[in-house]
Amino acid sequence: MKKRYELDKKFTWRLEDIYISDEDCKKDMKKLEDSLKDLSQFKGKLSQSSKILYDCLVLNDKLSLITEKIYVYSHMKLHEDTSNSISQGLADKAKSLSVKFSSASSFIIPEILSISEDILKKYIDENDDLKLYSHLINNLLRKKDHVLSKENEQLLAETLELGQSPQNIFSMLNNADITFPAIKDENGNEIEVTKGNFIHLMENPNRRIRHDAFKSLYSSYIKYKNTIAATYNASIKKDVFFARTRKYSSSLEYALFDDNIPVEVYNNLIDTVHEHLPLLHKYVSLKKRLLGLDEMHMYDLYTPLIKDIDMKIPYEKAMEIVKEGLTPLGEDYIKVLDEGFKSGWIDVYENEGKRSGAYSWGVYGTHPYVLLNYQDNINNLFTLAHEMGHAIHSYYSDANQPYVYAQYPIFLAEVASTVNETLLMRYLLNKTKDSKKRAYLLNHFLEQFRGTLFRQTMFAEFEKITHEMAEKGEPITANTLSTVYRNLNIKYYGNDIVIDPEIDFEWARIPHFYNAFYVYKYATGYSAAIALSYKIFNKEEGALDNYMTFLKSGGSDYPINILERAGVDMRTKEPIKQALKVFEELINEMEQQI
C-alpha cells in the first residue's frame, strides 16, 4: 500500500482551501483562545435588551465558525494518515479548543431560557436583525425542560471531551492499530486484507477467498473483543448519563429530540421492517438457489448473483458515469458536480494510515470535501455518487442559508446521497439491455436495499436493545453483545443461511455505534429518497423544483417539515412500505431475469 507522499496530487483533496498550512490553523487557534473571553462580557446581560442578545448570538456564531474550521481541518489532516503524530497533536488541540468554546458559550442557552417567552417574542418583533434567530429561539424554547442551570450546563460542556473518549479510543484501534492476517489468492500470492478492500474480497467469485477474508477480518476483532466491548459499554453509558442528566425518558428520546423526531418514527421503522422480513428471507433463499449453494454462509451475502460480468470501473470512468446518471437533477446541479470533480474536493485512494470508509465533510465558507478509499468496482461507483450527494447538499445549504441554519439536520443527511444512488441505478438499468448485466444491476439494487434498509434497521434495533439494557442496569459484555447480535441476524436473515460464529462480533467493527442512534437515518433517508428519486426520474410536475428547495433549506426548519414540503411524510409508515414494495418488485424481476 502506498504512503501518503507517494499519491498523485490530482487524486488528493486540497485542504489548502481551508488553511494554507498547519501554521495558519495554529494562528486561528491562538485567535480563538484570545477571543473566547469576549463572550463573557455578555454573561448575565442577555435579558437587558434585544440588541445585547443579538450581539451575543452574532459573536457566538463567529467563534463557532472558527472552532468548526479548526476542528474540520485538523481532523481531515489526521484522516490522511492517522499514525501521523503531528496531525494527532493538532487534532487533540482542536478537540480541546472545541470543549473550551462549548464551555465559554454554555451560559447562552440557559440565559435565553431564563427570559420569559413573552419578552423573547417582544425582542424578535422589535428587532429586525434578531428575526434571523427566531427559529433558533423557538427551538430552544421547545427544549426548555431539558436545559440545566448555567453552572450545570458549563459542567456538562466541560465533560464533552471525556464523552468523546470511547469513540476516540475505538477510532485509534480501528484505524491505526488493528491489522488483519494476509490471505492467498488463486495463484498462492498473498493478499493484504484491509477494511478498504474487505467488501471487494467478499464479492470475489472464489468462495475460498471470501471465506479466508471473512475469517481474517473477524479474527482480529475477536482478539480485541473484550477491549472493544468495554469501549462500547462506556459509550452507551455516556449516552445514558447525558439523557438522564437532561431529564429525557430514554437515551433514544434524547438522541431524536434535537431533530424534533418522535420516538414513534424510530419504532415505526423497526416494526415495518419486521412486518416485511419475509421479503428478505425470500431474497436470501433466491440468492442461495441462484448461487447453487447447498449451504449459504454470511460470507456469501455480498457475492454477485451473475458471474463473468466485467464491471470494473476506474475512477475516471466513474466520474463520467455519475455525471450522466445525475442529469435529471438539472444543469446547475451537474455544473456543481463537475466543479467538485475538478477542484480538489475529493481524496480518492487508500494509503497507509488513511482513515477507512468514506464521508463528506467541510466548513461553512469553503467548498465541501469527500474522503474515499476508491476501488475499481460498482460499489465504489455508487459510493462516489453517494458522497457527492452529501457534498452538494452541503454546497447548496451553505450557499443559501446563513451560518446559523446552514447545517442540515442529521435526519435529512442521507436523503440527498441516496437520491443520487437511486437515480444512478435507474440510469444504468435503463441504459443496459444485456440481460446478464441487467440482472447484475438488479442484484446490486437489491443489495442496496439489504445493506441500507434492512441491515441499518438491524443495526438500529441492536442500538435500541443495548441502550435499554444499560438503562435497566443489565451487564454489557462481549458475550451479551454477541448474543444480542446473533439473535438479530437469525431474525433478519432467516433459515436459509448459516449464521457463522464470526458474525456474532460484527458489532465490534461498526464505527457508527459510537454516534448513538444515527444509523436509523440511513434507513429512513433511503425510504424518503426512493420516493423523491422516482418523482424526479419520472419528471413529475414540480418534483425537481421541490427537491432543489429541499437541498437549499439547510436547517431552517424541522427536518420532518422540510421533507414534507419536498413531498414525503415520514410521520407515517408509508415511505418505508413504498420502498419495501420496490424491493419486492426487484426480487420478482430478478427471478424473471435469471
Give me the DSSP letters along 37-86. Answer: HHHHTTTTTTTS-HHHHHHHHHHHHHHHHHHHHHHHHHHHHHHH-TT-HH
Find where cell 498462492 sits: 188
Residue 70 near residue 25 (C-beta atoms within 8 A): yes
Quote the strand ranges of 201-314, DSSP E: none
Residue 418 near residue 386 (C-beta atoms within 8 A): yes
Residue closest to 221 by CA, chosen among 179, 186, 188, 187? 179
DSSP 8-state symbol, 361: E
Considering the candidates 68, 153, 203, 387, report the single residue annotated as catalytic: 387
Residue closest to 25 by CA, chosen among 61, 78, 82? 78
Euclidean distance between the first and final Cα of the chain, in Å? 39
Residue closest to 260 by CA, chosen among 552, 545, 507, 564? 564
DSSP 8-state symbol, 260: T
DSSP 8-state symbol, 191: E
Sequence-distant (6+) residues with CB within 8 A of 501 are: none
Grid cell for residue 198: 474487505
Active site residue 387: yes
Sequence-distant (6+) residues with CB within 8 A of 12 are: 80, 344, 347, 348
**Sign of the CA dihedral with 24 first, then 25, 31, and 33 last:** negative
Strands 369-371 and 359-361: antiparallel
CB count within 10 Å of CB 579 equals: 24
Q: How far apart are CA 60 and CA 252, in angstroms?
A: 29
Distances (CA, A) of 389 to 133, 349, 394, 399: 28, 19, 9, 15
What residues form DSSP beta bridges with 359?
371
- Residue 46, CB half-sphere, CA atoms under 13 Å: how many? 25
Residue 500 near residue 299 (C-beta atoms within 8 A): yes
- Which residue numbers are catalytic? 387
